[in-house]
């Protein structure tokens, strides 16, 4: 495992981290969850990424993670970086989402209770709130640190302009704000177009990338079309469907050829491509079984790209 410093902070996190967005709810087998978490930690993954609404049902991922932590890994708490978030819909009524102080403080308290923790290492605001003053959101996050409920603060899904604005407030408050967590992969490069990557570099903040495999489109799952049993073929999937996958099948096949020349799978190369940028402190991967996680970890074996390989990737993506 490699450990990377998050921005200019003193915190280092594992270059590959485990996300508990899927596969860790009450609808999933607890013994399988335990196997995945153990496999992650045994292979040097120290950063575990959660949010208040992960499940389903919402909140159950934190409860299940907390149980596994308490029963199996409690003695290793100080070797782990655990994060949670608030901002997306969690409970009904006017206080169960977005970025008010009321929501953020209550959400953090609930998350700590569900996981059985005194503090999280990083607490994120999950999405910008267009209706709450940015200063209120920043002050609420700062309060969590001063109360000892979070060591560091992060934001998620903030663009370059929003990141600059809240950074200015955090600087005045002397808040340990260190990271922006955003979607980033070879098929979705909005952070480059928006200037967010350059902004984070300039501000000495880190980036954590989620969806580095583009919901499976940058794996061998869709190299030969859309399997009938795939998530993209299920009408219930809100993030992946045939319309999104079909245009990228040919691109994935071409990228896969290049990956094979590098001695990697397409997924390994996709993760390595994200990590070639030093602003990226970690990429978050999901896993439905331990072997899937172990396969992703092989990406660390080759993070270097030649100029020719970069040119070939750019040509394919065009």
pLDDT, tens digit, 9 for 90 and up, residues 50-78 = 999 999 999 999 999 999 999 999 999 99
Q: How confident is the model at residue 246 (pLDDT cuts 50, 70, 90)?
A: confident
Question: Using CA atoms, how far apart are residues 29 and 60, in angstroms rounded to an integer?
Answer: 12
In a domain, 169, yes or no: yes
CB under 8 A, 24+ apart: contacts of 144-149: 144/104, 144/105, 144/108, 145/175, 145/176, 148/118, 148/119, 149/108, 149/109, 149/112, 149/118, 149/119, 149/120, 149/123
Q: How confident is the model at residue 139 (pLDDT cuts 50, 70, 90)?
A: very high
Q: Give me the number of domains the chain comprises.
A: 1
Q: What is the pTM of this model?
A: 0.95
φ and ψ at residue 194, rounded to 5 degrees? -75, -20
Q: What's the whole-number average pLDDT of the chain? A: 95
Q: Which of 20-24, 92-96, 233-237, 264-268 has the lowest mean pLDDT?
A: 233-237
In a domain, 70, yes or no: yes
245 and 275 Cβ atoms separated by less than 8 Å? no
Question: Using CA atoms, how far apart are residues 138 and 142, in angstroms rounded to an integer?
Answer: 6
Range of 51's domain?
3-216+267-304
The percent of residues above 90 in pLDDT, for the chain, comes to 91
In a domain, 262, yes or no: no
In a domain, 21, yes or no: yes
The answer, yes or no, to whether residue 231 has pLDDT greater than 80, is no
In a domain, 99, yes or no: yes
Q: How confident is the model at residue 222 (pLDDT cuts 50, 70, 90)?
A: confident
Encoded tokens for 139: 């002050």
In a domain, 227, yes or no: no
Specify the residue for token string 């594992």: 14
pLDDT, tens digit, 9 for 90 and up, residues 172-221 = 999 999 999 999 999 999 999 999 999 999 999 999 999 999 999 999 98
* C-alpha 236 chain-centroid distance: 22
Q: How confident is the model at residue 165 (pLDDT cuts 50, 70, 90)?
A: very high
The answer, yes or no, to whether residue 242 has pLDDT greater than 80, is no
45 and 56 Cβ atoms separated by less than 8 Å? no
**CATH label of the domain that carries residue 171:** 3.20.20.100
pLDDT, tens digit, 9 for 90 and up, residues 71-85 = 999 999 999 999 999
In a domain, 234, yes or no: no
- Please tell me the predicted confidence (pLDDT) of residue 60: 98
In a domain, 12, yes or no: yes
pLDDT, tens digit, 9 for 90 and up, residues 99-136 = 999 999 999 999 999 999 999 999 999 999 999 999 99
């Amino acid at each position: 495992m490699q450990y990377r410093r998050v921005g200019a902070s003193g915190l280092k996190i594992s270059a590959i981290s485990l996300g508990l967005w899927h596969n860790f709810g009450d609808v999933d087998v607890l013994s399988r969850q335990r196997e995945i978490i153990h496999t992650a930690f045994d292979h040097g993954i120290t950063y575990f990424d959660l949010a208040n609404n992960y499940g389903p049902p919402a909140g159950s991922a934190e409860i299940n993670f907390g149980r596994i932590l308490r029963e199996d890994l409690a003695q290793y708490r100080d070797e782990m970086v655990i994060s949670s978030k608030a901002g997306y819909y969690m409970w009904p009524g006017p206080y169960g989402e977005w970025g008010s102080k009321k929501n953020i403080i209550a959400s953090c308290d609930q998350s700590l209770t569900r996981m059985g923790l005194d503090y999280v290492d990083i607490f994120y605001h999950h999405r910008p709130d267009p209706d709450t003053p940015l200063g209120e959101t920043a002050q609420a996050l700062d309060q969590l640190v001063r109360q000892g409920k979070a060591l560091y603060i992060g934001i998620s899904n903030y663009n370059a302009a929003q990141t600059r604005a809240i950074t200015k407030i955090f600087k005045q408050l002397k808040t340990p704000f260190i990271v922006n967590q955003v979607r980033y992969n070879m098929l979705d490069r909005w952070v480059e177009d928006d200037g967010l990557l350059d902004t984070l570099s300039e501000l000495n903040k880190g980036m954590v990338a989620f969806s580095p495999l583009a919901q499976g489109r940058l794996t061998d799952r869709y190299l030969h079309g859309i399997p009938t049993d795939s998530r993209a073929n299920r009408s219930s999937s809100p993030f992946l469907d045939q319309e999104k996958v079909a245009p990228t099948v040919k691109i994935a096949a071409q990228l896969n050829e290049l990956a094979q020349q590098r001695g990697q799978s397409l997924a390994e190369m996709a993760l390595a491509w994200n990590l070639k940028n030093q602003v990226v402190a970690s990429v978050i991967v999901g896993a439905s079984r331990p072997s899937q996680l172990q396969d992703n970890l092989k990406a660390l074996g080759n993070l270097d790209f030649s100029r020719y390989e970069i040119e070939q990737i750019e040509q394919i993506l065009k």
